[in-house]
Structure 1
């Protein structure tokens, strides 16, 4: 079942249950996916493109959450936490620190990287492998750690 199919099914469930928070979050994500499809000139998105949009939505909310926490806006923090919980359901299982470390080490060997100047090559090789399964900043930190 694709992400869009799951979103449609869960949207119907949220409507029946009168769950406004879930419904509005799903509608927002569906709108983002539809906008992406229009931007790409397609009728439907591939599974990978859907995951890209979903990852972008999660990242935006995490960034906003950080900003709101620093500003002391607890009222907005709670709403964003709810949205993040809902979106995490559709994301693939996240990689553990050990699994990610192993992928980083393997990729460094594949690329033949030896120091920080090879950071770009390593990151461009790793990110497609862990798309949606790991946060980019976490990958970046691990790559830096292994290249130092």
Structure 2
């Protein structure tokens, strides 16, 4: 039996790694002074950040019901991280990050960059680059575009 044929399988491994990432993101957010954010709010701060996004599109993207997404949007709006506003000439309100929301976004991006640097040190830069290439390839359909590594092919 090869290592690929025994548990934990890919879904569990991805979930466990995501748990580590989410934990570090929450730590970084709180260390930056945003102590009013909860774990559930991280869904709204998922890639790509919601700026000019329809609430229904955001719900679809994060895999939540429209009702649950609107609940999170309302909470984040009350906390000053996002706002809903309609473009000129439209009555449909879109979700936009406020300055405070963009600050959180920058903290998250810096945290993710640090995680990537830490993991590259842990497994080696070439192996980690290959790992990212594979993830980008597998995620290409979800991202709605082809993901390329930017590394020269050999």
Q: TM-score by structure 1 length? A: 0.30
Relative to its length, the structure with more strand (as a share) is 2
Q: TM-score by structure 2 length? A: 0.29
Task: Specify which structure has the bigger relative contact order, considering alpha-carbon pairs within 8 angstroms and separated by 6 or more residues.
Answer: 1
